[in-house]
Amino acid sequence: MAVRLSTRDADFEGRFASLIAQTREQKLDVDGVVAGILADVKKRGDAALIEYTNRFDRVTLGAGQLRVTADEIAAATKACQPATLNALRVAAERIRDYHVRQMPSDAQFDDGRGVSLGWRWTSVDSAGLYVPGGTAALFSSVLMNAVPAKVAGVKRLVVCMPMPDGTTHPLMLAACAIAGVDEVYRVGGAQAIAALAYGTATIRPVDKIVGPGNAYVASAKKQVFGTVGIDMVAGPSEVTVVADAANDPAWIAADLLAQAEHDTAAQSVLITDNAAFADRVSAAVDGALKTLPRGEIAAKSWADHGLIVVVDDLNAAASLIDRIAPEHLELAVADPQPLLKAVRHAGAIFIGRYTPEAVGDYIAGPSHVLPTSGSARFSSGLGVFDFLKRTSLINCTVEGLRAIGEDAFRMAEAEALDAHASSIAVRLNLGGPA
C-alpha cells in the first residue's frame, strides 16, 4: 500500500521531505570492484573483455566474436513481426523529426568596435550507447539514444549490450539497424564501459558514453568521466501524476503502474485535491495488480515507494512538484496551463488527460532518457546537445584590438599575469607591464 499524506496533516512537511529525500535504490559499494575491472580491461584489452563477458553472461566467446555481424542483425530484423518493425520505424522518424528541430544554429556578429564574435556547433566524432540487458527488452531506448546522436552528426555510433546466455530480443538488433548504429557488440557491464572509454583491439574508444545501466555501469561511467564524456548517471524511473476527480481512476492507476512495473525501486506519485478520488485510484491500482504480468515488481514498487498526496488546491501543487523534480510529470487536470506555467523542475511534462507518459516512452518524439532522482533541478533530458560541442569564435581587427586591448592589458596587470599583459602590449605598443 502506498504512503498517503495530506497537506492538512500536522506532520506533513516532515514526512513529505523525508520521503522525497529517501534513497530508492540499494546503494552497493561497487566502486572498488569496478575500478579493478576498468584497470584490467585498460591493461589487457580484448582478453579481459572476453573473460568478463564469458563469466557474467554465461557464454563462451572467442576472439573475433565480440562484434555482432551485419548478417546477424539482418536475420534478427527478418525475425521480427512486420507490424512491430513498422512501429519502430514510425517512432524513429518522429524522434528524428523532433530532434532535427532542436538543432542549434551557428552565429557570428560584429560588436561595432572592430571585433567579430560568434560560435559554431560541431558534433563529437564518436559516441557509445550502453543498452542494459535487464528484465525487459528496451529496444525503445536504442532509438531514444541513437537517433538524437545521428541527428547531431555523430559519425560513429557504437552500441554495447549484454547478451546473457548468448541471446537478445531480435527487436534490439532491429532497432540498431533502424537507428543507423554503426557497430554493435555483445558486451555489457563495467567491462563494456571500459572498452568504450579506453579501447581494445576490437572496440575503438569513443568520445562520449550515454545510456543507463546497473550500479556497476553507473560507477564505471563516473570513473571514466574525464577520459570520455558521459550523459548522466540515471537512477530508478519515476512519475508524478497530478489528477483531478474528473479522471477515470483506472486511467490514472494504469499511469502509476506504468512506472512501477519498471523496477522495484521505481516511484509513482499521485497528487490530487479529492480524497475520495484518491481512494478510487488506490483501489484501481490494487485491482490491476492482480492481473498485471509484471505485477510482483509493480506491487513492491507501489508498496515501498508509492505516494499519494491530497492537497487543498491543485494549482498550489507546483511547489511540491518542484521539490520532487520528477523525471516524468503528468498534468491530468481540466486546465493544465496554470500548473504548466508554474512548474519549473521536471524532466518531461505530459499535458492533459489524453497524454499518458507511456506515449513519451515510445513514439511522441522527445527522447525518453530523462533526469531522475531530483536532478531535473539542474539538468535536462537527452537531446542533440548531448552530442554537440560549442566553440567560441573571436576575430579582432587592428582597430578592434585597440578598442578593447588596453582594458584587457590592465586586467592582466591587476592579476599579475605578466605574459598575458605582454601578449597584448606588444601588439599595441603599450610598453609591457610595469
Domain ranges (residues) in the chain:
3-25+235-365, 31-107+122-230
Note if 328 is an active site residue.
Answer: yes
- pLDDT above 60: residue 433: no
State the Cα angle at 295 between 293 and 79, rounded to 5°: 30
Angle between helices 215-224 and 31-44 (to 10 degrees): 60
- pLDDT above 60: residue 96: yes
What are 311-340's pLDDT values in tens digits? 999 988 999 999 999 999 999 999 999 999
C-alpha cell belonging to residue 103 = 538543432
**H helices present in 290-356, as ranges:** 295-305, 318-324, 337-342
- pLDDT above 60: residue 432: no
pTM tops 0.75: yes
Q: Quick check: do 3-25+235-365 and 31-107+122-230 share a fold? A: yes
Instruction: Note the pLDDT of residue 25.
Output: 65
- pLDDT above 60: residue 177: yes
**H helices present in 105-248, as ranges:** 139-152, 170-179, 189-198, 215-224
Of 237, 376, 238, 236, the residue nearest 307 (C-alpha): 238
User: What percentage of residues in the chain have a pLDDT greater than 70?
Assistant: 97
How confident is the prediction for the chain on average, in pLDDT? Answer: 94
Tell me if the domain spanning 31-107+122-230 has CATH number 3.40.50.1980. yes
Average pLDDT over residues 34-50: 97
Of 381, 429, 373, the residue nearest 405 (C-alpha): 429
Cα distance between residue 170 and residue 177, in whole Å: 11
Compute, in degrees rounded to 10, the torsion defined by CA atoms 99, 182, 228, 42: 160
117 φ, ψ to 5°? Answer: -130, 160
- pLDDT above 90: residue 137: no
Cα distance between residue 4 and residue 306, in whole Å: 9
Cα distance between residue 331 and residue 321, in whole Å: 11
* b/e sequence 48-62, b meaning 16+ C-beta within 10 Å: bbbebbeebbebebe
- pLDDT above 90: residue 19: no
Of 243, 155, 250, the residue nearest 207 (C-alpha): 155
Of 310, 246, 309, the residue nearest 273 (C-alpha): 310
Instruction: Note the pLDDT of residue 233.
Output: 87
The one-letter amino acid at 286: D
Of 236, 194, 201, 239, the residue nearest 331 (C-alpha): 239
What are 241-275's pLDDT values in tens digits? 999 999 999 999 999 999 999 989 999 999 999 99
Q: What is the CA radius of gyration of the chain?
A: 26
Q: Quick check: helix, strand or coil at residue 106?
A: coil
pLDDT-derived band at 26 (thresholds 50, 70, 90) equals low
Note if 296 is an active site residue.
Answer: no
Cα distance between residue 166 and residue 163, in whole Å: 5
Average pLDDT over residues 110-118: 96
How many residues can be counted in the chain? 434
In the set 328, 357, 368, 413, the catalytic residue is: 328
Taking a C-beta distance cutoff of 8 angstroms, is the pair 277, 244 a contact? yes
C-alpha cell belonging to residue 40 = 584490467
CATH number of 3-25+235-365: 3.40.50.1980
Matching residue, cell 568504450: 196
- pLDDT above 80: residue 430: no
106 φ, ψ to 5°? Answer: -70, 160
In the set 327, 330, 357, 413, the catalytic residue is: 327
